C-alpha cells in the first residue's frame, strides 16, 4: 500500500437488492454473487427459468416459491423471477 493511503473497509447489511431489466426481458439463467473483501466472490442466489433448470444448469436443488432465508450464508435457486413477462422494466427483488 502506498505511503499515506489508508484502506478503510466498511461492513454493510443488505436489506434488498433490486435488479431492473429496462428495455429487455429479465435474464433467464443467471446468478448473483457477493463478496466480503471485494476480491473473493461466492454465489448468493441462482436464478433459473424453471425449477428443472436449477438442477440442469446449476446443479442446485430448486427453492419452491420465493426464497426465505434463515441464515446469511444460504444459497437458493429460484425460478420465481426469471419469466419473460413483462418484456420491459421487469424487476427482480
pLDDT tens across 19-51, in order? 776 776 667 788 888 888 888 999 988 988 888
Q: Does the pTM exceed 0.85?
A: no
Q: What Cα–Cα distance (Å) separates residue 89 from each residue in 27, 29, 54, 78, 86?
A: 12, 17, 24, 19, 7
Residue 92 near residue 30 (C-beta atoms within 8 A)? no
Closest by alpha carbon to 27, among 78, 90, 74?
A: 90
pLDDT tens across 61-93, in order? 998 877 787 887 889 898 877 666 665 555 565
Cis peptide before 59 (omega within 30 of 0): no
Per-residue pLDDT band for 57 (boundaries 50, 70, 90) equals: very high
Amino acid at each position: 500500500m502506498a505511503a499515506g493511503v489508508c484502506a478503510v473497509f466498511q461492513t454493510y447489511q443488505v436489506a434488498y437488492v433490486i435488479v431492473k431489466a429496462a428495455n429487455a426481458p429479465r435474464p433467464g439463467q443467471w446468478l448473483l454473487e457477493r463478496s466480503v473483501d471485494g476480491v473473493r466472490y461466492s454465489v448468493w442466489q441462482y436464478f433459473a427459468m424453471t425449477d428443472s433448470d436449477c438442477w440442469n444448469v446449476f446443479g442446485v436443488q430448486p427453492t419452491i416459491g420465493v426464497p426465505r432465508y434463515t441464515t446469511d450464508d444460504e444459497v437458493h435457486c429460484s425460478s420465481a423471477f426469471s419469466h419473460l413477462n413483462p418484456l420491459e422494466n421487469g424487476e427482480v427483488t
